[in-house]
Amino acid sequence: MPISMQLPDYLVDRDPNRCITCKVCVNQCANDVHHWDKDVDSVIAEEEKCVNCHRCVIYCPTHALKIRRNPTEYKENHYWNSSTIRGIDRQAEGGGVLLTGMGTDKPIPIYWDRLFLNASQVTNPSIDPLREPMEIRTYLGSKPDNVIIKDGKLIKELPPQLVLDAPIMFGALSFGAISLSAVKSLAKAATDCGVMWNTGEGGLHRDVYEYGKNCIVQVASGRFGVDAEYLNAGSAIEIKIGQGAKPGIGGHLPGEKVGEEVSKTRMIPVGSDAISPAPHHDIYSIEDLRQLIYALKEATRYTKPVSVKVSAVHNVAAIASGIVRAGADIVAIDGVRGGTGAAPLRTRDSVGIPAELALAAVDSRLRQEGIRNQASLVIAGGIRNSSDIVKAIALGADACYIGTAALITMGCRMCQTCYTGKCNWGICTQDPKLVKRLNPEIGAQRLTNLIHAWSHEIKELLGGMGINALESLRGNRLMLRGVGLSETEYRILGILPAGE
Amino acid sequence: MKRVYAREEVCAGCKLCEVYCATAHSEYPSSILKAFQRQETRPVARILVEVDQPLTFALQCRHCEEADCTQGCITGAMTKDPETGIVTNDESRCVGCWTCVLVCPYGAIKRDESGHKVASKCDLCSNNDTNPICVQKCPNNALIFAEISKGGD
């Protein structure tokens, strides 16, 4: 066999003064990096298999392990850098499409970090959220053009609304892509926090039907697991057109991941590949989309809002306008940084546009057309923390999906090898010996902690601005100033530079 | 009585319970490094993780109501405390005949030949109140210390 040109990405540093040869690293590494060598009475590493997931580092009881980036240098070259060369090496040896997981790691401009929030000083009072009530409850759904009030009561019936105790939802992560333990963690946390989780296109496992009240059930191009009971089990339905990590591309869950439980939940035979076509083959136009939206509304007797999720692409504003006119109650926009279990590397890193610009463009367009009230706007794709959420709301979002942040909360270290099915943290795998590594009680508790922490922070940021209800911040771009952006970016974001 | 129960559905099979148990019952109970590096012989864990992937769970003495080991013990070293229910082995009286190892239906007693030969077994960290070290240190909450009326014996 010709020699491989690929160098190990990482080196395993084992401190011999600290290693007690307990072999915890050996039994925990699903990538078979660590081996017990009885001849030399020590643990050795096959470093080329290491993906830097930190399982061994965190589980080592004596902190004997460190993972370092391989310090071997390639000849310095700004253009032909090491990741470019390594990509070519992988393809020269494998001959396939480069696969990866999670969202893009490329240095795409981070607009969130160029946006700064306002605060009250002297001329208007800021509010202390620990002393005064703050309202961050969020209602997602179509709002009527007007309201009719008689004797102090609303007499016009409102379209169905999703009620969120915080403007945060767990993004679509399907059972099949992620483990049942991860699904249970998300479902329980969403229920405990009064927010929503999303089935993705993987159907609804029997064990999580009880969390249906806090669930958005997805209908994607493969229609996996969709029947009348499924549609009615959730509180909203989402038609998935695209996702930020791989706009224009369908999904492919390999047959080896389709075990008994995934098979039953997705309603496909055991061991068969679950292939989601790139388009919905019954949706080639806005009119076709309208048919599906209303078919789903009929199936649920107009009791549940219908969301349509699209990737942020070049003409996303016009597409969003069409989606609203097609009758969607919620439009979800997934930016280029959105994550995934498996995507072609080149698609993930090069297709789509940043969520911040897409959000501003869509909100502006819907306002200009006078239809912003007809649908709620949910933004996804790289929401990292509570200030990203507050900035997104000020740019015009009603709520945010978090996917990657939720995975990190459950233990994900973003090693980007989800597609191998060997997730050492039991999140992105169907291997029963790995799945049980994620205890859903612990996962749910950590997610609940995160939502509570972010809710507190959102209230603090709102209070600083002198705002006591999130509703007063929605689309209030005067609360934002930018730094270091171009004229065009200020125009698209609809904000002023700092100092103006 | 309160016993340690395994929740095999969330046991990661990492065997950290063995490491912490061995340390807690070593000459240096507060330091893993010292226990494994300074003690003359390698410390012995009194808990054992059974592995037949994907099945894994930690097993230790069940502190049986009518413990065969106490009845089989030829020196009277193995006794059950009538108040706490904890079965312990008085190592000063144990002669290492391994009768207890033979009769234990769970295979929960090990041979410790580091000093004079003695039987080594779970002592619930010698109390029936706070969580034993294995329960405290399990990274995935796969061990619980609880009073469960059915099972265990």
Other C-beta atoms closer than 10 Å to the C-beta of B31 total 14
Report the SS3 class of residue B110.
strand
Q: Which residues from B are below 8 Å from A18, CB to CB?
A: 33
Q: What integer best gives the mean pLDDT of chain B?
A: 92
Using one digit for the tens of pLDDT, what is the confidence trace for A115-165?
Answer: 999 999 999 999 999 999 999 999 999 999 988 889 998 888 889 999 999
Q: Tell whether A459 lies on the interface with B, counting CB pairs under 8 A.
A: no
In this prediction, residues B72-100 reach a mean pLDDT of 94
Q: What integer best gives the mean pLDDT of chain A?
A: 96
Task: With CB atoms and an 8 Å threshold, state whether B142 touches A439.
Answer: yes
Q: Is the pLDDT of residue A312 over 70?
A: yes
Q: Tell whether A63 lies on the interface with B, counting CB pairs under 8 A.
A: no
Q: Tell whether A439 lies on the interface with B, counting CB pairs under 8 A.
A: yes
Task: With CB atoms and an 8 Å threshold, state whether B139 touches A20.
Answer: no
Judging by beta carbons within 10 Å of its beta carbon (0-12, 13-18, 19+), is residue A382 exposed, middle or buried?
buried
Quick one: angle between helices A316-325 and A286-299, nearest 10? 40
Q: What is the pLDDT of residue B128?
A: 60
Q: Tell whether A32 lies on the interface with B, counting CB pairs under 8 A.
A: no
Partner residue opposite A20 with nearest CB, options B14, B36, B140: B36
Cβ proximity of A485 and A500 under 8 Å: no
Chain B residues at the A interface, defined by Cβ less than 8 Å, are 9-16, 18-20, 32-33, 36-37, 51, 53-54, 56, 139-142
Q: What is the pLDDT of residue B115?
A: 77
In this prediction, residues A456-469 reach a mean pLDDT of 97
Domains along the sequence of chain A with CATH:
10-76 (3.30.70.20), 138-497 (3.20.20.70)
Question: Rounded to an integer, what distance in angstroms lies between the CA atom of residue A9 and that of residue A414?
Answer: 15
What's the domain count of chain B?
1
Partner residue opposite B141 with nearest CB, options A61, A432, A441: A441
- Kindly report the CATH number assigned to the domain that includes residue B67: 3.30.70.20
DSSP string, A166-205: SSEEEEE--BTTB-HHHHHHHHHHHHHHT-EEE-TTS---
Q: Which residues from A are below 8 Å from B16, CB to CB?
A: 22, 24, 59, 61
- In angstroms, the Cα distances linking A294 to A163, A300, A305, A467, B143 are 22, 10, 11, 38, 50
Q: Is the pLDDT of residue A27 over 50?
A: yes
Q: What is the pLDDT of residue B104?
A: 96
CA dihedral A226, A228, A230, A232 (to 10 degrees): 140
Task: With CB atoms and an 8 Å threshold, state whether B14 touches A62.
Answer: no
Using one digit for the tens of pLDDT, what is the confidence trace for A387-433?
Answer: 999 999 999 999 999 999 999 999 999 999 999 999 999 999 999 99
Q: Is the pLDDT of residue A451 over 80?
A: yes
Task: With CB atoms and an 8 Å threshold, state whether A61 touches B19.
Answer: yes
Q: Is the pLDDT of residue B32 over 70?
A: yes
- In angstroms, the Cα distances linking A460 to A132, A180, A457, A464 are 11, 35, 5, 6
Q: Which residues from A are below 8 Å from B9, CB to CB?
A: 436
Q: What is the pLDDT of residue B150?
A: 61
Q: Is the pLDDT of residue B15 over 70?
A: yes
Question: Which chain A residue has the Cα nearest residue B56?
Answer: A433
Task: With CB atoms and an 8 Å threshold, state whether B54 touches A433.
Answer: yes
- Could you tell me if residue B88 is inside a domain? yes
Residue type, B41: T
- Could you tell me if residue B23 is inside a domain? yes
Partner residue opposite B16 with nearest CB, options A18, A59, A426: A59
Using one digit for the tens of pLDDT, what is the confidence trace for A221-267?
Answer: 999 999 999 999 999 999 999 999 999 999 888 888 899 999 999 99
Using one digit for the tens of pLDDT, what is the confidence trace for A436-450?
Answer: 999 999 999 999 999
Q: What is the pLDDT of residue B18?
A: 97
Cβ proximity of A247 and A380 under 8 Å: no
| Residue B33: domain span | 2-147
Q: Tell whether A62 lies on the interface with B, counting CB pairs under 8 A.
A: yes
Q: Tell whether A152 lies on the interface with B, counting CB pairs under 8 A.
A: no
Q: Is the pLDDT of residue B22 over 50?
A: yes
In this prediction, residues A486-498 reach a mean pLDDT of 98
- In angstroms, the Cα distances linking A395 to A362, A399, A473 are 10, 11, 9
Q: What is the pLDDT of residue A452?
A: 98
Q: What is the pLDDT of residue B152?
A: 47
Q: What is the pLDDT of residue B141?
A: 97
Cβ proximity of A55 and A28 under 8 Å: yes
- Could you tell me if residue B152 is inside a domain? no
Q: Is the pLDDT of residue B77 over 50?
A: yes
Q: Which residues from A are below 8 Å from B31, CB to CB?
A: none
A&B contacts, CB < 8 Å: 53
Question: B31, B140, B141, B144: which to substitute to probe chain A, counting the most A Cβ within 10 Å?
Answer: B140
Query: Taking Cα atoms as reference points, which of A269, A272, A266, A169 lies closest to residue A220?
Result: A266
Using one digit for the tens of pLDDT, what is the confidence trace for A30-65?
Answer: 999 999 999 999 999 999 999 999 999 999 999 999
Using one digit for the tens of pLDDT, what is the confidence trace for A178-231?
Answer: 999 999 999 999 999 999 999 999 999 999 999 999 999 999 999 999 999 999
